[in-house]
Amino acid sequence: MLPDWLKIELREKWERLSERLRLPIVRERINEYPTVIVSVAGASALLLLVIVIWQLVPDKPPPKVVVIEKEWYYDLNTGKLFTAEHGLTPPIQAPSGPMPDGTPAGVRACVMSYKSEPNESERFIAFLETTATPEMLAKWQSRRESGSPVQKWGKGKMIRRVDDKLWVPADSQLGLRLLREAYAPNKNGQHPIYCRPR
């Protein structure tokens, strides 16, 4: 707490300073040249308006939304990639026809590359995906309830590598390990990028 004598002295100094800052000369000049003041105020308002409009106008058009129309699928009979409509639930009909047991031979393929614009030789199939049948799910009844976003994505899906024979649930520990391997960076530290069909 400040002593009373210091408060009084500070108040007096403040009053003297505020008297000096009132600047009577400036007031006189404003009264003598009101058109100059109006012009400066108008120019300031115009400049503010230009700056606001400049900030609101976008520099370039927003990026075009890419609509995914096709997806990669893998023909289990021939071992070749083909494209089909986006959003189909695998297995789907493949160009080679059904499997020997009569089921469709087309499963979704996750095609990746470490390059942004890869050619065919720079792409690879990270894993294959199909929908789990009740028989497949019956083999994996001891699985825990899904919790992570990856496990939620994988619920009801079976995945495998191209060379594997057995499908595993995507939300199981084996499935999660396979997904980690698929998205692992290469020896240069580059992460794989999904390649959309053209």
151-157-163-165 Cα dihedral, nearest 10 degrees: 120
| pLDDT number for residue 99 | 92
15-16-18-23 Cα dihedral, nearest 10 degrees: 150
What does the buried/exposed string (b/e) look like for 74-102 if buried means 16 or more CB atoms within 10 Å of the residue's CB? bbbeeeeebebeeeeebbbebeeeeeeee
| pLDDT number for residue 147 | 67
49-50-53-57 Cα dihedral, nearest 10 degrees: -170
| pLDDT number for residue 143 | 52
Q: Is the pTM of this model over 0.85?
A: no
Q: What is the mean pLDDT of each run of 10 residues along the chain (198 residues)?
A: 77 76 64 76 88 80 76 94 91 93 93 88 92 74 61 82 90 88 90 88
SS3 193: strand
Helical ranges in the chain per DSSP H: 4-21, 24-32, 34-56, 134-138, 149-154, 173-182
